[in-house]
A and B are shown apart, each in its own frame.
Chain A
Amino acid sequence: MMNDDAAGIVIKGLTHSYGLDENHRVMALAGVDLVIDEGDFVVILGPNGSGKSTLAKHLNVLLLPDEGDVWVFGMNTKDPDFTWEIRKNAGMVFQNPDNQIIATVVEEDVAFGPENLGVDPKEIRERVTRALEAVDMLEFARHAPHYLSGGQKQRVAIAGILAMEPKCIILDEPTAMLDPRGREEVMQTITRLNQDMGITVIHITHYMDEALYADKVVVMNEGKIVMQGTPRDVFEEEELISDLGLDVPPIGKLSRMLASHGVPIDSNALSVDELVDELCQLK
């Protein structure tokens, strides 16, 4: 069951429902089609309960489709022979880093994944060093993870995934509990992994400004994809965005208010620097 077109991730007609009891099921995914190219940085937005986490869990075979198919680097998630290979290549990071930390020393924690994959010890040591370097945490290798800050813990969790050398990482609200600097650190870390190492990134968030890091934004609602495009394209649709219970980032709102009051600037300036540059060009 290899897919000829070995793109990054291909999802076709995916549905998923959860059984509550014999008579009741919840439709969490109601027919999702999505293609994510290798090396893409994708941000998934959507109101609570729209199916984002459910979709993410299909990408590393924590869930299987009711209908439809999911191919991860050409491998169908329904084929049990591929489960291991898919999990190796698509690593997940969750919201609460405490739930992901296993060992009492950072480097042992990072080594846990590759050890499980049966990688040989010498290679593991190299991978751990590389992974900690990639997230800029090498100097904390001998520290106890439980006494790191939230942002640092989250970077250790990402290093643990990296040490498995996946081609793709999926992050489900990894920044929800972080302070502003921790949030920025995590976003910069994953941007670097994406740009320097070509790792495919799928990032789920309720912080609209984090969507600005993406090549492609996917918006979900009621188990379906309702919008896809660049951050600019997506936030251009202000009305639809707000009907879905989402929002334009604060600076986007300010730009729009100014432009609609006749200030001759790009009404779709979304970041602080964009807006400041736009304003400073005015004569």
Chain B
Amino acid sequence: MSIEVKNLSHIYMQGTLTEAFALTDVSFTVEDGEFIGLIGPTGSGKSTLIQHLNGLLKPTSGTVLVDGVDIWSKGVSLKEIRRKIGLVFQYPEQQVFEETVFDDIAFGPRNLGYSPEEVERSVEAARQVVGLDKELLSRSPFDLSGGQLRRVAVAGILAMNPEVLVLDEPAAGLDPKGRKEILDNIKKLHESGITVILVSHNMEDVAYFCQRILVLYDGTLIADGAPREVFTKEKLIDSIGLKPPEVTIVMRKLRQRGWSVREDVLTVEEGFEEILRCLGTKGVALI
């Protein structure tokens, strides 16, 4: 499934004193099977943008095409679009409302007319992906810790088996192990064929998991490329208040101090290799 965003603009409360230009002339295409990271400073328009992808928001101007069809044209079922393109909200409180955690995760599958067994299976599969304790299924979602609630919100969307998974800060508030597990599992889902769009302020995660990064700034798309390309645009990234992964910063500082290390290093493992290589050429003795 491909999604094409064409000249998309969005103005909140147009014509009022408080109107806000959230997106201005944004265009890009998401190809089937991509794993895309969407980054940008607070207020840059990320949440606004992704809510256009499954028709939760209507463009002020411009179009969103899913498999070549304008989702706002006559005869298109937005319900069908939302089944295929699942969106997890930034604040889980916006999304949970049922009496128990189980019912909350089961809400989508039931709505899609799954049989009770299928519902059970989907809930269980989703529960495992997000690492939610089984015993929490019978609890009210309002009696959970912040990180537990986040997992419920993600599981509710996964349980509908979407073809495209759009996640707005899915790992915010998760402990490091939970964060890694959930993202590793999403990566596995991606490998099994689904398309993933990840909105995140965690540059380490984006650099590690995504194949392509889109950068929004003040409602405009200012960069689109592989993580290595984007994070080495030092001036651009700094000027909009983002930061590359810390390892990349180490490399930058080493270069400033005369080391000839590569700068396009994104992960701890790559940094390790690169520093060892450089120490080798400098002839530093290891102990």
Least Cβ–Cβ distance between A268 and chain B, in angstroms: 15
In the complex, the answer to whether A206 meets B243 with C-beta atoms within 8 Å is no
Tell me, yes or no, whether A181 is within 8 Å of chain B by CB: yes
In the complex, the answer to whether B139 meets A96 with C-beta atoms within 8 Å is no
In the complex, the answer to whether A261 meets B276 with C-beta atoms within 8 Å is yes
**Of the residues B91, B268, B279, contact of A254 by C-beta under 8 Å:** B268
Tell me, yes or no, whether B116 is within 8 Å of chain A by CB: no
In the complex, the answer to whether A264 meets B201 with C-beta atoms within 8 Å is no
**Of the residues B40, B169, B203, B253, contact of A272 by C-beta under 8 Å:** B253
Instruction: Write out, one digit per residue, whether chain A residues 240-251 have a CB within 8 A of any chain B CB (1) or not (0).
Output: 001001110111
Instruction: Known contacts A180-B242, A245-B177; decide if A272 and B250 are in contact (CB<8 Å).
Output: yes
Instruction: Known contacts A246-B177, A258-B276, A261-B276; decide if A180 and B284 are in contact (CB<8 Å).
Output: no
Tell me, yes or no, whether B219 is within 8 Å of chain A by CB: no
CA distance A26 to B2 in the complex (A): 46
In the complex, the answer to whether A180 meets B243 with C-beta atoms within 8 Å is yes
Q: Which of the candidate stretches B61-69, B118-126, B142-150, B159-167 sits at the interface with the other chain? A: B142-150
In the complex, the answer to whether A180 meets B203 with C-beta atoms within 8 Å is yes
**Of the residues B41, B42, B178, B201, contact of A47 by C-beta under 8 Å:** B178
- CB-based nearest A residue for B132: A48
Instruction: Known contacts A48-B147, A182-B241, A272-B250; decide if A173 and B173 are in contact (CB<8 Å).
Output: yes
CA distance A283 to B43 in the complex (A): 47
Tell me, yes or no, whether A118 is within 8 Å of chain B by CB: no
Least Cβ–Cβ distance between B137 and chain A, in angstroms: 13
Least Cβ–Cβ distance between B205 and chain A, in angstroms: 11
Q: Which residues of A contact B250 (CB under 8 A)?
A: 251, 254, 272, 275-276
Q: Chain B: residues with CB nearer than 8 A to chain A?
A: 18, 20, 40-43, 90-91, 139-140, 143-148, 151, 169, 172-179, 201, 203-204, 241-243, 245-247, 249-250, 253-254, 257, 259, 268, 271-272, 275-276, 279, 282, 284-287
What are 11 A-to-B residue pairs whose CB atoms are below 8 Å?
Answer: A48-B146, A96-B91, A181-B241, A206-B147, A246-B175, A250-B246, A254-B247, A254-B271, A254-B272, A254-B275, A263-B284
Besides A176-B172, A254-B275, 17 more A-B contacts (Cβ < 8 Å) are A20-B143, A26-B143, A47-B147, A48-B147, A48-B173, A48-B175, A150-B43, A178-B201, A180-B203, A206-B179, A245-B176, A246-B176, A250-B246, A250-B268, A251-B250, A272-B249, A273-B253
Q: Chain A: residues with CB nearer than 8 A to chain B?
A: 18, 20, 26, 46-49, 53, 95-96, 144, 147, 149-151, 173, 176-183, 206, 208-209, 242, 245-247, 249-251, 253-254, 257-258, 261-264, 272-273, 275-276, 279-280, 282-283
